[in-house]
Structure formats: structure tokens, C-alpha cells
Structure 1
Amino acid sequence: MNRIVKFYHEMGSPPSFYRITRHWLKPMLFLAIVLTLYGLIDGLFFAPTDYQQGDSYRIIFVHVPAAWMSMFIYAIIGIAGIITFVWRMKVAEAVMMACVPIGALFTVITLLTGMLWGKPMWGTYWDWDARMTSELILLFLYIGVMGIYSAYEEDPRKAARLAALVAIIGLVNLPIIRYSVVWWTSIHQGSSISLMGGSNGIKDWDMLRPLLVMALATKFYFIYSMLSRAQSYLLKTESKKQWVKQVIKKELSGDQS
């Protein structure tokens, strides 16, 4: 328990956060690349053809993990936003702002792949049903958080608090996205994986395996990208601190310890 508490306090300190996480970047990127290649090859070439949708369903191996990540990342932004707004922790600010462009990217991928999937399935690229509309709202929330921060960027602490407030308010959209196909009539299909044993979930392991691998790959990519962006954020906002000067000095000298 003491080790957990100690680790928590270390990760809350910008110098310690940078020192600890800088060693995680290469392993996270390596795992993300390997799993992505395996998942895409397995899903596109070896997964069986769906008896209803044919081969067009294979876009699911990109669309579904991206959709999961779009919500997962916003949840992290919301949690980091609460910590930022209440306790004003600089590492939480860094994590929050590092997550925003990554989450926006996954949301764009979700919307685009959903449109490409929807055309052969529903006969239209877009329909203003609850799931698609709430996912589009999620993209606007990501853009809003980035916009608010950019508007007050000359004062990073104030910018982070205002961005955190927008992020916290936006959390209400997550359950709407998740349960939209249950609460409202929708052309969108139900969950691709049903933990409660529902009839809509994928049951064929040869289809499920690449989907889960791609989901794991996106997690590792997120960790890599978020940490690298958070580190850059801290170096920028703490540029006048002694620890940043020491880091720059070590990097210029080629010391990777």
C-alpha cells in the first residue's frame, strides 16, 4: 500500500512523472505497432466472412476500437479535468490536454469509418440518429476543449482550468453515446461485444480475436502518444524550472539515464 501511495505522489510531480514515463515510450510504441499489424492482417485476411454483411463488415476492426477509444479517452479527460479544476495538479493538466487531440483523432476515425460502413448496410452515409449525433457532439466537445485552451494559452493555468470545466460538463454525453441504441429507436446496430450475453454481440472467436487485438493496440498507442504529449506539455509550461534545464542538458549531452 505504501508503494502505491508513493508511486501516486511521484506521478503527481512533473519531474518524477517525466523521469518515470520517458522509459515507457518505446515499449508502448513497439507493442502498438506489432499488435496493429497482427490485428489488421488477422481481421482483413483471415477472419471469416460475415453471413449477413459479407466482407464489408471488416471495417469493424478499425471502427469499433476507434469508437471505444473516443469515449475511453474522453472519460480520462473528464477525470483529469476534475483533478485539474479541484486540486490544480499540473500533471493532470498535462494529461488532460495531451489526451484531447488523440481523442479527437479517434472520434474522426469513428465517424468516417462509420459512414463508410453505413452506406452498404443502411443505404446512406449519414443519419441523424442518436448514436451518430451524440458521437458528432463528442467531436465538438474535443474541439471545444482545445479551443478554450487556445483562447487563453498565454495563461496556461487559467486555460487548463477553463478547458477542464468544459471537459467535465461534456461527461454527460458519454452515457448518451453508450446507451443511445437502447434508449431510442436507431438504425445503428447494438454493441459488437455483449458482456451480458446479448444476441447482438460477436460470438465467433475468429472474428472476436482481431477485434480485441486491435482494441489492445489502440490502448498502447494511446499510452505512447499521451505520455509523449504530456511530457512535451510539461517541458513547455515548466521551462523556467531547474529540472527542465537539467533534462535539456542531459539530452544535449546524450545521457539517457
Structure 2
Amino acid sequence: MEALEKNIIDLGAWLELPAGLYIREWEQNLLDTLTVDIFGYNALQIGLPQIDALAASRMPHRWLTDSRLPDPAAPKQNRPTVVVHDFAELPFESQSIDLVVLPHVLEFAAEPHQILREVERVLIPEGRVIISGFNRNSLWGARQASGRLSKNYFLPTEGEFISHPRLKDWLKLLDMEIGSSDFGCYAPPFKSEKWLQRCRFMEKAGQRWWPYLGAVYMLQAVKRVKGMHLIGPAWKQKRIAAGHALPVANKSKNKHG
């Protein structure tokens, strides 16, 4: 197991390790809390099928997309992948999605800015995006930084972790209004499940005394459109007319919105 952990380069494989399961548990619980009261018709999770980000969502249409087909040998996904695509070019109509969840997508992407631009394009006015990422300003971030020198990584090696303030700046440039932010997982970066469990008491202490130093963060933002006011009946008529079809864009006519 030690050799496997030392050479982990894939986030999906890392999430099956004790530290990854610890992160998944916190993120799943928080996502369930955040998404249950976000209303709309179409919700989209991009990437990371190991987490069912839309499990608690009440929206009638919920989809998972990924950049590759599921591995037949991998554990069965809670929600099947419906579209395989390049994350930097979302195959959906402009202003067609009410909620987009990006669990650890941006920090493992070659073009994170382009992904955010595409998310902004497909979101309806007042639509929401939820983004999770590893916190560089944490014990886990420090452990990863030292691991780069010794080549003994704690987190997946290919990640380029984005700080919380930097991500907020990117979203503001797209006229996205920043909502709530949550930080969690305050246990030291242990590989052992036993030691992670022993440090459970640090969750409440961390939230109270060093709230911004959690190993991971989750940020919400809302798409604001200046000068636009939603009118109830017209908006409802448009959404009902969309039916139950997946809002896939005609790429020949609308490649980037």
C-alpha cells in the first residue's frame, strides 16, 4: 500500500485511500446540504463520478458528465455518465442549466479559465455554480508542497491547486457573485485511517479557531446578468417548453455561446 500511495497520480484512485475517503465524506455531506434547497430544472455535475454531488438535489433533471468513459473495473457509479466531453467545451445550450457542480475539476484541468467561461455561458441568469478544491493554505497543502521536493506526494501529483482568493477573483471577472464558502477536514495529513479517526475532534476546533485552514474548501457563486429581470410567467413557459430533453447545444451554430 505504501508504494501505491507514493506513486498515486490519479485523483479517482487517491479517493479510494483513507485520506481520500475522509475528504469524500465531508464533501458529500456538505453537497447534500447545499444542493437540497437549490431549485430549478436542470442540474449538472462535471467530472469526479466518485462523488454523487447531486444526490440530494430536487431538480427533475440531473446529469453527470465526464471526460472519459467509466472504467469497467471501477466501482459502479451512483449516477451514470450521460455525456463524455472536453471540459473546456461544454456541449450544452447557452443559459440552459440551473446548477453546475465542479468537484475538484479546475485544479486538475489544463484550461481552468476556459472551463469557468463555459460554465458561465451554460448557466441561466441567477444560476449557481458550486466548486470544491484542495486548500493550499492548509497542513495538507504544506505537506504536498514539501512532497514535491522529495517526490513523496501526499495528494495526486498532477493537481495545480488553486487558492480560495484566486478562485474568487476568477469568478468576479466573469461577473459571478460570490456566495458562501465552507472549509473542512482539519485533521493533519495522515495516511492511516486510525489516525484520521483519532483526530476527528479537530473538526469543531478547526471551524472555531482556524476556519480557513481546512484541507478542502467549497465555494458557491451566482450568475448575475446586469439589467436583466426575470418575469415569472414567461420564464416558466420557457422552462416547460424545454420538456425532458437534455439541453445539448448545436455545436455547428453555437460553439461557445
- In the superposition, the TM-score normalised over structure 2's length comes to 0.26
Structure with higher Rg: it is: 1
More strand by share: 2
More helix by share: 1
